């Protein structure tokens, strides 16, 4: 299929982008890497009258470390999440998840901002933002605001972004040597959307876990934090009994959808297997 | 019949040699010319409005808004095209009692599957045509869809199409021997109900067609991404009432076919009519979504089968019931019954037993038509047989290899008639099994398996013997009244500069047909391969023939080329003898030069012979006939099919917590008779194995209860990808067919025939410690977790 006709704008600044979007009266889409939007246009699942291409706005780029926060411009590409040393050191969950995101050709063009703003619940990066406690820097015609990941993902493909607002950057608390991170997912084929995926970030205090953040992908309408499982780990040694209790706690955290291909019970079962394996690998690495 | 072929160590001995494809660089460099690349002056583009319902009546069509859209040149309905095109019916005379509703390019008043093309829009661009499709208004009156095969066979079931008395397209019963007595006397009986998912070909290049009706000359030219240009020349001629000689079908570069590109598709037939109506060239290229909902699907069988054994584990008898769901029509012109027919006739094919009974029911339902796709019927028959053989081995306390040693048809027992009605000339099951167990290091794998089980790692080993149908004679289609040729034709000619052109009716879709034909011609003529050019795929240029399907390219096309080249060689040597005042039998051709047969001394070059023949015939003695072009046809005689055989092994690791399977390694030993190009044979086999493993673990067209395909995209329909595929090791046994000089049989379907069966046995082997089993493919994590009782 061929996309419907649309007009195309390529602003050079954030202000210009917001203005060009605003005057379209709601019939516009931002486009960056285009890895989700272009197929949707070609399939006529989306047919905006105006595309606002933000890929050439320099202010949306850059990776820097300041005051214990890692700042990633929204145009940071998937391949940079895979390769960048600052990301590997301070946001290791992004680096661990990146090889599972689609395929190299897609990772070369796809952007973190695009992935998180789309908020596909089966995508890796939105869930990892949740697992890392990232904050989203959002620009609008009224000014700039920051929204924590915990209140960013609202429902299926729905985020705290208001129409016309632009995701500018991610602010991620920089991980250090006290953090232990693990990511894995179960996908039918390498690069596919996973049946279930999980990122786990533990803060260790000696042999005990002092805090934990665990986020799942593909288990509901949004990326989901496993708060009961997190709580079950805190203040305990990471032994097999603790791991079993975290696996059991997922029944409180996850309410996966039922579909014919993957029944809810199977997704919960696989989430438990996955969490058990991730925690087991972190315990072994200790 | 087997004239000796030259030894491999002489110059230009290309038969049996791994050489690269002459067309590979061109295609890799992006210089391929596919139908999509072709642009004709005044060319228009077609798009189709498709039915959103699996079964509905068309009550009203309102085209007014669409007709006013920019760029729109023509909108045509079923009624418009029915005035030009005669309908078709997908039956064959030798399938007695078969029925199917008549088909039109676009439906007149009833749509029979979700995605069926209903109205065609022709516009200046494809995007404009799609815009106009969105503006067409159709009132559909929904009718109950037939989606379940068992429900479809109930007497009071809804019908898949108006006018059907019942939903049975074709039924067949085979009965040889005394099956009931054999089962009554059996020491063991094993039985199982198997389910095989629907899948589809997913060629890299989708279906594409560009039709150009020229009213000034009354000529139709169709550029068509097809395997079978001659078949379509005949069909366009007969259904549009254009003399055959005025229809030209050109198959340019074609990007994969796998049997999918030899059926009549409604859109393709419509595009011819659209060109007639528009008086301009019209192109249609199926996009990927259209491919999923309109390319033929395949498989979709539910098989209940059992075998009877004596106390020693000898197979006595087999009893099979196959129900296959074929969609709303039987496809045309090859029908949708061939797969089922081959399922019930290939059952138990590698084994010695006498008593056989089978019943086949091909059932209509409101889904896309199924029809021939790579290894038609083979994977179903093979998986059913091989799984039952493994179950029987377990009951008899035999290792799967010992079970096969006991029951395979011995290599010295040929010719052999199967109880299903096939005659095998010479197969090599025992040699192949021996070779496979060596390649797999079978004993070591079993020891390793036992060791790993103790530590909670569950690996499985599966093997599957198979028989493959190749080189079909007119007994396949011609006898049923279809104008599908079983013979091939070739023209081989020397150019004035001493090069050779071979124009041949077999076609190329990426498998290397042109490469092997070039090898055979160069070999027989004693020419460097670079001096032979092979031309295929144009009905105006190449002789009429069957083209490429059913693994006939090497066996039939290759023999045609060989015989044609030998005739040309005789002509060249005869002319050279005249020029040299020598005897023909004293001369030979080597490396493009006519030499003295005994001493190898150079006498005269082929280029010089050509120069004399074409430009200085005045120097030849009176009465000399210089025939440097030869036309030759060859049709298979002797056995109706050249059966081939082989065996496959699969090694998997099952994650019993997740239901995921890691395919560790796959082995194939196959016997396709004379191997012309080992490299291409191995790649054919590997590609086939990958498609078989796709069926085993990934590929499935899924429908909901309303007859809607729910996974019609490459994100949701999982084709096997490189990351999931194992290393595939291939060995060969060569049992030549004595029916031809070349001795070659087919190899293109061998990999697909048994890969899923070997995988099914391997997974069941891994499941065996849990007293669990699976009899359905694809073997998805969900199904495996269910089998393990984890969910």
Q: Which class is domain A59-173? A: alpha beta
Q: Is the pLDDT of residue B7 over 60?
A: no
Q: CATH number of the domain at A179-285, please? A: 3.30.390.50
Complex-level ipTM = 0.97
Q: What is the pLDDT of residue A26?
A: 78
Tell me whether residue B327 is in a domain.
no
Instruction: Provide the token pair at B238.
Output: 């007969």
Tell me, what CATH number does B459's domain have? 3.30.365.10
Give B652 to chain A, closest Cα distance, Å.
15
Is residue B655 domain-shared with residue B630, that is, in the same domain? no
B446 and B554 both lie in a single domain: no
Last residue of a domain, one of B634, B650, B681: B634
CB-CB under 8 Å, B715 with A43: no
Note the maximum CA span of chain B: 89
Q: Do the bridges between strand B72-76 and strand B168-176 make them parallel or antiparallel, or are there none, so unpaired?
A: unpaired
The chain A residue lying nearest B655, using CA atoms, is A273
Residue in B closest to A5 by C-alpha = B127
- Residues B603 and B675 both lie in one domain: no
User: Residue A69: what are its φ and ψ, rounded to 5°?
Assistant: -120, 135
Q: Which residues pair with B368 in a beta bridge?
A: none
Residue position matching structure tokens 């014919």:
A260
The domain spans of chain A are 7-53, 59-173, 179-285
How many residue pairs from chains A and B have C-beta atoms closer than 8 A?
Answer: 54
CA distance B791 to chain A (A): 6
Residue B2 — very low, low, confident or very high, per pLDDT cuts 50/70/90? very low
Residue B571 lies in a domain: yes
Q: Does residue A49 sit at the B interface (CB-CB below 8 Å)?
A: no
Any domain includes B182: no
Same domain assignment for residues B652 and B770: yes
Alpha-carbon distances, residue B516 vs B398, B457, B512, B688, B740 (angstroms): 43, 45, 7, 18, 16
For residue range A19-70, what is the model confidence (pLDDT) as tens digits? 999 999 878 999 999 999 999 999 999 999 999 999 999 999 999 999 999 9
Task: Give the residue numbers spanning the domain of B465.
Answer: 429-481+641-791
Comparing C-alpha atoms, which of B459, B536, B213, B260 is closest to residue B376? B260
**Is B621 inside any structural domain?**
yes
Flag whether B547 is in a domain.
Answer: yes
* CB proximity A89 to B under 8 Å: no
**CATH number, span A7-53:** 3.30.43.10
Mark whether B560 and B681 lie in a shared domain.
no
Nearest to A2 among B126, B660, B791 (CB): B126
Into how many domains does chain B fold? 2
Q: Answer yes or no: do B614 and B675 share one domain.
A: no
Residue B721: which of A43, A189, A193 has the nearest Cβ? A189
User: What does the pLDDT read at residue B212?
Assistant: 98
Given a contact cutoff of 8 angstroms between Cβ atoms, the answer to whether B53 and B142 are in contact is yes
Please check whether residues B463 and B505 belong to one and the same domain. no
DSSP symbol at B110: E
Locate B632 and state its tokens: 């030759």
Whether residue B127 lies within 8 A of chain A, CB to CB, comes out as yes
For residue B573, being part of any structural domain is answered with yes
Angle between helices B378-396 and B750-767 (to 10 degrees): 30
Nearest to A188 among B698, B702, B790 (CB): B698
* Cβ contact B718–A188 (<8 Å): yes
Q: Are residues B739 and B671 located together in one domain of the fold?
A: yes
* Residue B651: how many other CB atoms lie within 10 Å: 24
Question: How high is the pLDDT of residue B1?
Answer: 38
Residues of A in contact with B715 (CB under 8 A): 192-193
Give the end of a domain, one of B588, B612, B634.
Answer: B634
Reading the block at residue B597, the tokens are 């047969």
pLDDT digits (tens, 9 = 90+) for B354-407: 999 999 999 999 999 999 999 999 999 999 999 999 999 999 999 999 999 999
Residues B654 and B620 occupy one common structural domain:
no
d(CA B537, CA B540): 9
Q: Whole-angstrom Cα distance, residue A127 to residue A196? A: 11
Length of chain B: 791
Q: Confirm whether B566 is domain-assigned.
A: yes
The contacts of residue B369 (CB under 8 Å, 6+ apart) are: B90, B263, B296, B297, B326, B327, B328, B329, B330, B331, B336
Chain B residue numbers touching A186 (CB-CB < 8 A):
658, 660, 781
SS3 labels along chain A: CCCCCCEEECCCCHHHHHHHHHCCCCCEEEECCCCCHHHHHHCCCCCCCEEEECCCCHHHCCEEEECCEEEEECCCEHHHHHHCHHHHHHCHHHHHHHHHCCCHHHHHHCEHHHHHHHCCCCCHHHHHHHHHCCEEEEEECCEEEEEEHHHCEEECCEECCCCCCEEEEEEEECCCCCEEEEEEEECCCCCCCCCEEEEEEEEEECCEEEEEEEEEECCCCCCEECHHHHHHHECCECCHHHHHHHHHHHHHHCCCCCCCCCCHHHHHHHHHHHHHHHHHHHHHHC
Helix (H) or strand (E) holding B402: helix B400-407
Min Cα–Cα distance to chain A from B658, Å: 6
Contact A2 B723 (CB under 8 A): no
Convert the pLDDT of each residue in B734-745 to its tens digit. Answer: 999 999 999 999
Where does B221-365 have alpha helices with state H? 229-240, 266-278, 288-294, 338-346
| B289 touches A: beta carbon within 8 Å | yes
- The dihedral through the CA atoms of B721, B725, B731, B735 has a sign that is negative
On chain A, the residues whose CB falls within 8 A of the CB of B698 are: 188-189
Instruction: Establish if A103 touches chain B: CB-CB under 8 angstroms.
Output: no
Q: Last residue of some domain: B612, B634, B656?
A: B634
Task: Please give the mean pLDDT across all residues of chain B.
Answer: 96
pLDDT of residue B5: 55
User: In the block, which residue shows the tokens 């006595």?
Assistant: B316
Is residue B62 one of the residues assigned to a domain? no
Do B756 and B618 share a structural domain? no
For chain A, the average pLDDT equals 97
Q: What is the mean pLDDT of residues B622-644?
A: 95
Q: What is the pLDDT of residues B648-696, one digit of tens each?
A: 999 999 999 999 999 999 999 999 999 999 999 999 999 999 999 999 9
Q: Does A278 touch chain B (CB under 8 A)?
A: no
pLDDT in tens, B764-789: 999 999 999 999 999 999 999 999 99
Whether B594 and B578 share a structural domain:
yes
Is B653 found in the same domain as B628? no
């Amino acid at each position: 299929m061929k996309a419907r006709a649309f007009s195309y704008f390529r602003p050079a600044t954030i202000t210009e982008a917001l203005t060009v979007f605003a005057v379209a009266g709601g019939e516009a889409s931002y486009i960056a890497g285009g890895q989700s939007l272009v197929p949707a246009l070609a399939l006529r699942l989306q047919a905006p009258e105006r595309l606002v291409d933000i890929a050439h706005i320099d202010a949306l780029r850059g990776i820097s470390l300041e005051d214990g926060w890692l700042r990633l411009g929204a145009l940071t590409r998937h391949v940079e999440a895979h390769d960048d040393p600052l990301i590997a050191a301070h946001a290791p969950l992004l680096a661990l998840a990146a090889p599972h995101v689609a395929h190299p050709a897609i990772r070369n063009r796809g952007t973190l901002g695009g992935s998180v703003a789309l908020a596909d619940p089966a995508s890796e990066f939105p869930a990892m933002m949740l697992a890392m406690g990232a904050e989203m820097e959002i620009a609008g015609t009224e000014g700039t605001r920051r929204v924590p990941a915990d209140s960013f993902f609202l429902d299926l493909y729905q985020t705290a972004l208001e129409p016309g607002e632009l995701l500018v950057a991610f602010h991620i608390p920089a991980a250090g040597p006290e953090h232990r991170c693990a990511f894995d997912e179960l996908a039918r084929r390498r690069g596919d959307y996973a049946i279930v995926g999980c990122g786990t970030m533990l803060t260790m205090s000696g042999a005990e876990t002092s805090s934990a953040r665990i986020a799942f992908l593909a288990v509901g309408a949004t990326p989901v934090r496993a708060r009961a499982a997190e709580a079950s780990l805190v203040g305990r040694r990471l032994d097999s009994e603790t791991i079993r209790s975290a696996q059991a706690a997922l029944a409180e955290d996850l309410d996966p959808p039922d579909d014919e291909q993957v029944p809810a019970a199977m997704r919960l079962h696989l989430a438990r297997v996955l969490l058990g394996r991730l925690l087991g690998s972190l315990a072994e690495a200790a | 019949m087997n004239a000796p072929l030259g030894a491999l160590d002489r110059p230009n001995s290309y038969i049996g040699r791994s050489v690269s494809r002459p067309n590979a660089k061109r295609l890799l460099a992006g210089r391929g010319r596919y139908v999509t690349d072709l642009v004709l002056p005044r060319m228009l583009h077609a798009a189709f409005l498709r039915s959103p319902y699996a079964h509905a009546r068309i009550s009203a069509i309102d085209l007014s808004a669409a007709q006013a859209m920019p760029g729109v040149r023509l909108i045509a309905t079923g009624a418009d095209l029915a005035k030009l095109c005669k309908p078709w019916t997908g039956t064959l005379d030798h399938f007695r009692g078969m029925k199917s509703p008549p088909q039109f390019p676009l439906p007149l008043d009833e749509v029979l599957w979700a995605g069926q093309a209903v109205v065609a829009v022709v516009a200046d661009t494809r995007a404009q045509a799609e815009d106009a499709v969105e503006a067409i208004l159709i009132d559909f009156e929904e009718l109950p869809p037939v989606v379940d095969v068992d429900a479809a066979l109930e007497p009071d079931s809804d019908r898949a199409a108006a006018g059907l008395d019942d939903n049975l397209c074709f039924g067949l019963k085979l009965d040889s021997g005394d099956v009931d007595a054999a089962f009554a006397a059996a020491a063991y009986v094993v039985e199982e109900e198997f389910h095989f998912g629907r899948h589809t070909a997913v060629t890299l290049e989708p279906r594409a067609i560009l039709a150009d009706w020229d009213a000034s000359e009354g000529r139709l030219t169709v550029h068509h991404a097809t395997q079978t240009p001659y078949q379509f020349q005949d069909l366009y001629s007969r259904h549009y009432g254009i003399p055959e000689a005025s229809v030209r079908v050109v198959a340019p570069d074609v990007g994969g076919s796998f049997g999918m590109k030899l059926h009549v598709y409604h859109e393709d037939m419509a595009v011819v009519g659209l060109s007639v109506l528009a008086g301009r060239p019209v192109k249609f290229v199926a996009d990927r979504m259209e491919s999923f909902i309109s390319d033929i699907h395949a498989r979709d069988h539910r098989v209940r089968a059992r075998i009877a054994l004596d106390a020693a584990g000898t197979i006595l008898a087999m009893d099979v019931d196959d129900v296959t769901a074929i969609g709303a029509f039987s496809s045309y012109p090859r029908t949708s019954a061939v797969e089922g027919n081959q399922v019930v006739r290939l059952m138990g094919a590698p084994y010695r037993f006498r008593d056989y009974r089978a019943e086949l029911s091909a059932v209509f339902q409101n889904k896309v038509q199924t029809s021939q796709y790579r290894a038609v019927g083979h994977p179903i028959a093979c998986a059913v047989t091989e799984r039952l053989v493994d179950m029987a081995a377990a009951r008899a306390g035999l290792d799967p290899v010992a079970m096969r040693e006991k029951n395979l048809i011995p290599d010295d027992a040929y010719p052999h008639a199967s109880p299903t009605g096939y005659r095998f000339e010479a197969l090599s099951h025992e040699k192949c099994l021996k070779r496979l167990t060596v390649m797999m290091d079978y004993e070591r794998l079993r020891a390793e398996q036992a060791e790993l089980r103790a530590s909670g790692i569950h690996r499985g080993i599966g093997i599957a013997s198979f028989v493959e149908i190749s080189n079909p004679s007119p007994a396949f289609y011609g006898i049923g009244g279809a104008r599908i040729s079983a013979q091939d034709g070739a023209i081989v000619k020397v150019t004035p500069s001493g090069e050779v052109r071979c124009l041949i009716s077999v076609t190329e879709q990426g498998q290397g047909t042109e490469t092997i034909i070039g090898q055979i011609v160069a070999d027989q003529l004693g020419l460097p391969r670079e001096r032979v050019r092979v031309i295929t795929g144009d009905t105006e240029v190449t002789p009429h023939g069957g083209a490429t399907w059913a693994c006939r390219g090497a066996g039939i096309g290759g023999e045609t080329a060989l015989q044609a080249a030998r005739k040309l060689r005789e002509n060249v040597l005869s002319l050279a003898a005249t020029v040299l005042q020598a005897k023909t039998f004293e001369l030979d051709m080597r490396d493009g030069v006519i030499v003295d047969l005994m001493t190898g001394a150079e006498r005269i070059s082929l280029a010089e012979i050509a120069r004399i023949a074409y430009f200085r015939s005045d120097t030849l003695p009176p009465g000399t006939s210089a025939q440097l072009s030869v036309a030759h046809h060859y049709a298979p005689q002797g056995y109706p099919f050249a059966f081939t055989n082989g065996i496959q092994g699969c090694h998997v690791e099952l994650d019993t917590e997740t239901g995921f399977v890691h395919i560790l390694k796959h082995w194939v030993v196959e016997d396709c008779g004379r191997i012309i190009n080992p490299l291409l044979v191995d790649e054919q086999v590997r590609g086939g194995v990958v498609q078989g493993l796709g069926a085993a673990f990934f590929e499935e067209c899924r429908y909901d209860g309303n007859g809607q395909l729910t996974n019609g995209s490459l994100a949701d329909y999982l084709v096997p990808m490189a990351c999931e595929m194992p290393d595939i090791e291939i060995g060969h046994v060569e049992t030549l067919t004595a029916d031809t000089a070349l001795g070659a049989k087919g190899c293109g379907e061998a990999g697909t025939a048994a890969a899923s069966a070997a995988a099914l046995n391997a997974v069941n082997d891994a499941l065996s410690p849990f007293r669990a089993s699976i009899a359905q493919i694809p073997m998805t994590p969900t199904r495996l977790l269910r089998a393990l009782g984890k969910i």
